[in-house]
Amino acid sequence: MLTGKHILLGVTGGIAAYKSALLVREFVRAGAEVQVVMTPSATQFVTPLTFATLSRRDVIIEMFPPSPDQPTSQWTKHIDLGVWADCMIIAPATANTIAKIATGMADNFLTSLVLALRGPLVVAPTMDVDMYTNTATQHNIGVLR
C-alpha cells in the first residue's frame, strides 16, 4: 500500500510522543521507508533507539551532531530529506513547534526540514485542551491550514 513511499515523521516533545512509535511500525509494515526526526525535547519522552529499531534508520535530532565522526555533509541533510520525502507528518506537534513553523522559524533540525520540504506537511496538534484553544495556538494552526 505504501511501497516505495518516503515518509518523514517529526516527533516533538509531548507526552503523546510514545504513540508515534506505532505510526512508524504501521508505515513500515505497509511498505514505506520512514525517516524519524526528533526534537531534543522529544528524546525526554521516548528514546531515539525505539524509532531507530522500528524504522531501521538512524534518527536525526541535531543539525550539527556533536560527534566528530559524522560526515561533513550532515549540515545539508535537511535539504536532502526535503527532496527525498513524499510527505512529512509531525505527530505529536506541540504548541511550541506549531508556533515555530507558523512563523517560519528554523532553530532546530525539524523546523529547518519543514522549510526545505517539497511535499505536503501534515501536522497533528497534541496538547492540553486549554493550550489548544488558546488564541495564539488557534491563530498558528490557522496559518498552517
Each residue's pLDDT tens digit, 8-36: 999 999 999 999 999 999 999 999 999 99
β-strands 121-125, 33-38 pairing = unpaired
93: domain range?
A: 6-62+73-144
State the pTM of this model.
0.92
Each residue's pLDDT tens digit, 25-75: 999 999 999 999 999 999 999 999 999 999 999 999 988 766 666 555 566
Query: Domain of 39: which CATH number?
Result: 3.40.50.1950
Sign of CA dihedral 132, 54, 24, 106: positive
Counting the structural domains of the chain, the total is 1
Q: Which of 87, 91, 76 is nearest to 121 (CA)?
A: 87
